């Protein structure tokens, strides 16, 4: 008996952005699969409904890999049906599974078991922000969250700025939404006036905001990022 396939299914980044976020193949696939591994069951079920799910929700089998159960995941149970030949879907809470997302552990386990992994196209806030920044897409690095400690964060920001100038590399990072304003202030305090900063906020939402300015230009603008999902990009043009 041949093994099933693990499909990595991107989830919309914002509410009411479904049509921007999936292809016709998504609709075919979700009406073929009836078993999923998800980070957030409520988000996953809502997306499936809005994407055109015809299978009754009560017939779906959902495995949770949220933060409260992540350390206790039973991979034998999760992959039992795949070993028997059925396909399985993996969904993050938002965006692409495995990218800045703990779903990477599920994917790694699939590879260990010889299970085919198929990633689907869909929204990634990191790549969308890079595309719209005007910064180098030839050479870039994603750093996740910067240190919370003030001194460590200041050092990290300066290191990223130096690396960007030296390597002509775009630096990409993020912050917990309620600390966005503090990170933005730290960037303006610690970066050189000509360093470019792109703020990509509420990606794919009606109030999406993407703007690239130099540090000196940003200091003349008022920006409110509190509790808004935001990607930060830094680039030094020689």
Mean pLDDT of 24-43: 93
Q: How confident is the model at residue 73 (pLDDT cuts 50, 70, 90)?
A: confident
Question: Average pLDDT for residues 185-198, to the nearest whole number?
Answer: 97
Q: Is the pLDDT of residue 71 over 80?
A: no
Task: Please write the tens of the pLDDT for every residue from 147-172.
Answer: 999 999 999 999 999 999 999 999 99
What's 32's DSSP letter? T
CB of 39 closer than 8 Å to CB of 140: no
Q: How confident is the model at residue 222 (pLDDT cuts 50, 70, 90)?
A: confident
Round to whole Å and give the CA distance between 77 and 62: 11
Angle at 61 between CA 55 and CA 65, to 5 degrees: 130
Domain positions in the chain are 5-119, 125-235
Strands of the chain (E only): list them. 5-8, 35-38, 61-64, 88-91, 116-119, 140-145, 170-174, 196-201, 209-214, 230-235
Q: How confident is the model at residue 68 (pLDDT cuts 50, 70, 90)?
A: low
What's the CATH architecture for 125-235?
2-Layer Sandwich (3.30)
CATH topology of domain 5-119: Cobalt-precorrin-4 Transmethylase; domain 1 (3.40.1010)
Share of the chain above pLDDT 70, in %: 98
Confidence of residue 18 (pLDDT cuts 50, 70, 90): confident
Look at the block and give the residue holding tokens 């609709």: 27
Q: CA dihedral in degrees (101, 107, 109, 110; nearest 10)?
A: 160
pLDDT greater than 80 at residue 177: yes
**Alpha-carbon gap, residue 3 to 88, rounded angstroms:** 11
Q: Record the pTM.
A: 0.92
């Amino acid at each position: 008996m041949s093994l099933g396939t693990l499909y990595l299914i991107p989830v919309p980044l914002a509410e009411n952005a479904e049509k921007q976020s999936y292809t016709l193949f998504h609709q075919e696939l979700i009406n073929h699969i009836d078993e999923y591994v998800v980070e957030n069951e409520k988000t996953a079920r809502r997306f499936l409904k809005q994407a055109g799910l015809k299978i009754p929700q009560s017939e779906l089998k959902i495995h949770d890999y949220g933060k409260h159960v992540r350390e206790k995941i039973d991979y034998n149970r999760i992959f039992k049906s795949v070993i028997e030949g059925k396909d399985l879907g993996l969904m993050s809470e938002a965006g692409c599974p495995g990218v800045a997302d703990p779903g990477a552990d599920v994917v790694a386990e699939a590879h260990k078991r010889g299970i085919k992994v198929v990633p689907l196209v869909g929204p990634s806030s990191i790549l969308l922000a890079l595309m719209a920044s005007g910064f180098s897409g030839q050479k870039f690095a994603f750093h996740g969250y910067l240190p919370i400690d003030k001194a460590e964060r200041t050092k990290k920001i300066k290191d990223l700025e130096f690396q960007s100038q030296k390597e002509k590399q775009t630096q990409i990072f993020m912050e917990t939404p309620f600390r966005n304003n503090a990170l933005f202030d730290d960037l303006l305090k610690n970066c050189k006036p000509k360093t470019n900063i792109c703020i990509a906020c509420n990606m794919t939402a009606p109030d999406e905001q993407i703007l690239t300015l130099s540090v000196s230009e940003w200091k003349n603008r008022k920006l409110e990022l509190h509790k808004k999902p935001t990607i930060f990009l830094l680039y030094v043009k020689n």
